[in-house]
Amino acid sequence: MLERIAGGEANRHPGEPSLWEVLSMLVMMFVLHLLAVCRVSNFWDAADWLDNASYIEIARTIRQGHPAGGWFPHHFWGFPYAIAAVSKLLGIRELTAIVVISMLGSLAVCVLVHRLYGGWVAAVFIFINYQWIEISVEGGSEPLFICLLCASFLAARSNRWELAALLAALGTTVRPVGVLALLSLAAVLAWRKNWRQLAATALIGLGIGILYVVPIWIHYGSPFASLIQYQRDLGTRGWPLTYPFHTLATSYWEFVHLESIHWYTFANFAFCVALALVGTAAMWLLRTCEEFPLYPTETLFASLYTLFLISYNYPYIAGHFPRYLLPVVPILLYSLRDWIPRVRPLLWAGAVLSALLSAAARVGFENLIRF
């Protein structure tokens, strides 16, 4: 029974891509991306991007037991804890640890998505947004966060609510939006009137939260230091949410007028916005999907997360929207799985194109064409 529930569509469509085929596709994309990037620039220069410097600063604070510099990075500490642990255990520098965790996390996500939603969804997920390969190879917190998120959903499907709450709480220490997964678990348990499991879930979330804020409180004098720093990145009033599409539309007009924007970056943004809206609508309107009522936690989380994302009061949300959407892309694709072309050559062609676009985003499309 558990195998049938956890396997999802994989058990009903034996002709779809196997796990090994999807993993082979992902490894191929890693290799192609690395070859393209390394022929143009130094890989470690490319890996020093996004928030990696901030995560390294926090990881050094964790290892040294005191702030490593004069500035306080606002990112959550879950990913830096993993960086510090891997760096210490393997005797490697922090940036190398980021790449190791991200690549292994990406492979784990591939396995979990295949198990949760089947081979077609897993195959499309790894290439539909080329930023997934960027983050998986150059490093970022998303692979670890999505790994914990998918593992939590898998545990919830088999009614292991305490484990699901623990994984979701750990995910919240990596990305604060993980709290929406905890709220989704609590809402499902409350709807089922499972008060004992609901109390256990709340206690687990509260316990992880206390353990998380204590070191920050000790180092920086406030348990809410990270949230205060996050607030400074928001709008003029510092509110995390606004009217749906308000900041997204404002940020969009500034985004499209940037001279450095590439056509594939704009296309990726437009596609991800469409995927978020159509996929979320499909979860609630296409009631012929018999499988989705079985997974209310995932449906609720994806809906809350998408609503949060289109209402997020971050001035640069348009430029980061495809990356921020990644945690719910597997669920959105699953709601639209009947429209996924069942053509393997098309999947592999898409994987190659996505790997090349991810490399172009790192080293420039002109350099890639010249290569």
pLDDT digit string, tens, across residues 42-59: 888 777 788 888 899 889
Whether residue 68 is predicted with pLDDT greater than 80 in this model: the reply is: no
pTM: 0.91
Whether residue 3 is predicted with pLDDT greater than 50 in this model: the reply is: no
**pLDDT score recorded for residue 69:** 60
Nearest to 123 by CA among 268, 265, 16, 15: 16
> What are the angstrom distances between the C-alpha of 85 and each of 93, 100, 102, 140?
11, 12, 14, 16
What the block records as the tokens of 6 is 């956890």
Nearest to 371 by CA among 41, 131, 45: 41
Whether residue 259 is predicted with pLDDT greater than 70 in this model: the reply is: no
pLDDT digit string, tens, across residues 186-243: 999 999 999 999 999 999 999 999 999 888 888 777 777 677 666 666 555 567 888 8
What the block records as the tokens of 173 is 């220490």
What is the residue-averaged pLDDT of the chain? 86
- Give residues with Cβ within 8 angstroms of 234, minimum separation 6: 240, 313, 314, 315
Higher pLDDT, 296 or 30: 30
Looking at residue 294, what DSSP letter applies? G
Looking at residue 140, what DSSP letter applies? -
**In sequence order, what DSSP letters do the residues of 6-35 get, joined into one string?**
HHGGGGT-TTSPPHHHHHHHHHHHHHHHHH
Q: What sections of 65-177 are H helices per DSSP?
A: 78-90, 94-117, 119-128, 131-138, 142-157, 161-174
CA distance 255 to 316: 8
